[in-house]
Amino acid sequence: MEISNGVMVVLMFLTAVGLLLLGYPVAFTLAGTALIFAFLGSLLGVFDLSILTAFPQRIFTIMSSEVLVAVPLFVFMGMMLERSKVAEELLDNMGRAFGAMPGGLAFSVTVVGALLAASTGIVGATVVTMGLLSLPTMIRRGYNIPFSCGTICASGTLGQIIPPSIVLVLLGDQLSTAYQNAQFKMGNFAPDTVSVNDLFAGALLPGLMLVGMYLVYQAFFALTRPQEAPPVPRDELGIMDRKAFLKMLMRTLFAPLVLIVAVLGSILAGLASPTEAAAVGAVGAIMLAGYKIDPKRAHWILAAGAAFFVLFLITHFFDLRMQRDVIPLKDKVAIGVALVLSAVVAIGILTAIRRTMQVADENGVSVLGSVGRSTVQISSMVFIILVGASMFSLVFRGFEGDIYIEEFLHNLPGGTIAALALVMTVMFIMGFFLDFLEIIFIVVPIVAPILLMMEVAPGETMSPVWLGVMMGINLQTSFLTPPFGFALFYLRGVAPPQVRTAHIYRGVIPFVAIQVLALVILWFWPQVATWLPSVLYEK
């Protein structure tokens, strides 16, 4: 009995999914399944083992990718900010700012979720942190339990779509390769590049649109059911006079906003690559953590922050290159000032590092040690999954699986619309069972080149930025959707005893509807995602 390539492709995919659902490690499941089917295919005469010789080059490409260096740096930044109690302080002060109005605590959770998303991008940590800090307070104040749970879950998942997001970094890397492959197949051997910067710019407005839609729903809920989203009495908020309150609020928001502007602003303005901006963010997070540990004795850290800003201005207005035969006097002076400022920055960073090493968490591990360990664990997981997924996609293509999928999608009744709807539905369902890493590394390399070759209008192919934003919001929606959304499990693990799973499920349904509405808006008005990149990068 002769087995075709198509049968092997289906069996390999089903085997991998089945093993993943049984709980086997993702990276080893993908790589192991691929190798087993490669050798089995070779025995049956339907697979050429010489294809596997391309695998070392794939690993080298992954390990030498400058874009992917941003992943551990963003993880480090997010974990350091989470350990430095930024979220706790933001929630406390935002609660004071909005708490006196109906639904105010829900507004504060959403605003803080957006700020944390723009500074950390780590979904699980955000949901857990806000669940621990906000949910007991909201319940104690008489807030509707499902409404409170839905607000926290939805706000915590904003880190999936609001840049700088690890999801967008990985999606951008995969879509860049997919777009290049699609253009090569179409005969364009000098295509425009698609970078993570483009995807960050494309996701910013849809992310802010989602925040606005959340706030509109929360305001509607508070107006129609005020007894279930009551204001907090002013005397219980501990509100000081207006001048002192504004000073306290600005002090709370200043550091996170500066970090967001430094990281996201430098990327969108084209001043830095995501990797360079992530390095700035990681250093900024260390300095912020050092400042939070002891604000009264943070002179060197504050001086380092000011020196860093002045250094940025000097590099913009002066040529600081020292490998020149003739250096004008003004440049010599600028170089001397820059060296002094660099020393100040170094002292400030070392001071912050020393503080994070001296302060221990509840397990007796220093803050820096705990953050470093978490960063290594998460980054190792990302890269080993990427290596396993590379083996899986290599064998998948060796069985000509990409050709089968291309023919299948092209032959669907309904053309491009049906193909995209099917892919989005499959990714949505897979999001119930698999983490976004597996979906990005397995599905995107296979289907994205095919979709990017399909026409959405006569002579016009699909925008990779629009496709990436659609996929990002789709994955975020699957994170929220009962009964398997990951965000629901994160909150369930830290929720008070009176919160039942049914409360969480009921609470997220309106937010899932908002997510679907956002996808519909993007479907009919793709300019929401493509306008900002076209303005910033003239694409």
DSSP readout, 341-407? HHHHHHHHHHHHHHHHHH-B-TTS-BHHHHHHHHHHHHHHHHHHHHHHHHHHHHHHHHTTHHHHHHH
Using CA atoms, how far apart are residues 448 and 106, in angstroms rounded to an integer?
A: 37
| pLDDT score of 125 | 65
Task: Convert the pLDDT of each residue in 302-351 to its tens digit.
Answer: 888 888 888 878 887 888 888 888 888 898 899 999 999 999 999 999 99
* DSSP-derived secondary structure letter, 261: I
Q: Tell me what the mean pLDDT of segment 108-131 comes to.
A: 77
For 423-439, the pLDDT digits (tens) are 888 888 877 766 677 78
Q: State mean pLDDT over 78-88.
A: 76
Q: What is the pTM of this model?
A: 0.82
> Where along the chain do its domains lie?
84-239+400-539, 254-359
Rounded distance between C-alpha atoms, residue 145 and residue 501, angstroms: 11
Angle at the Cα of 257 from the Cα atoms of 253 and 263, rounded to 5 degrees? 155
Is the pLDDT at 37 greater than 50, yes or no? Answer: yes
For residue 485, give the nearest of 207, 210, 153 by alpha carbon. 153
Return the percentage of the chain with pLDDT > 70, whole number: 94
Task: Count CA atoms within 13 Å of residue 355 on its CB side.
Answer: 23
More confident residue, 245 or 91: 91
pLDDT of residue 239: 56
pLDDT at residue number 28 = 87
- Residue recorded with tokens 């390399």: 445
CB 63 within 8 A of CB 422: no
- Please state the separation of Cα 346 from the chain's center in Å: 29
* Average pLDDT of the chain to the nearest whole number: 83
Inter-residue contact 256 to 284 (CB < 8 Å): no
Closest CA to 103 of 59, 57, 53, 151: 151
Residue 208 binned pLDDT confidence (cut-offs 50, 70, 90): very high
Angle at which helices 436-451 and 166-185 pack, to 10 degrees? 20
Angle at 154 between CA 150 and CA 156, to 5 degrees: 120
Token pair for 514: 């908002």
Query: What is the band of 1 on the pLDDT scale with cuts at 50, 70, 90?
Result: very low
- Predicted confidence (pLDDT) at residue 210 exceeds the cutoff of 90: yes
- Measured CA to CA, the distance from residue 277 to residue 73 in angstroms comes to 9
At residue 420, the pLDDT reads 87
Least confident of 271-280, 281-290, 357-366: 357-366
Q: Is the pLDDT of residue 285 over 90?
A: no
Burial 14-53 (b: 16+ CB within 10 A, else e): ebbbebbeeeeebbebbbbbbeebbeebbebebbeeebbe
pLDDT at residue 237 in the model = 63
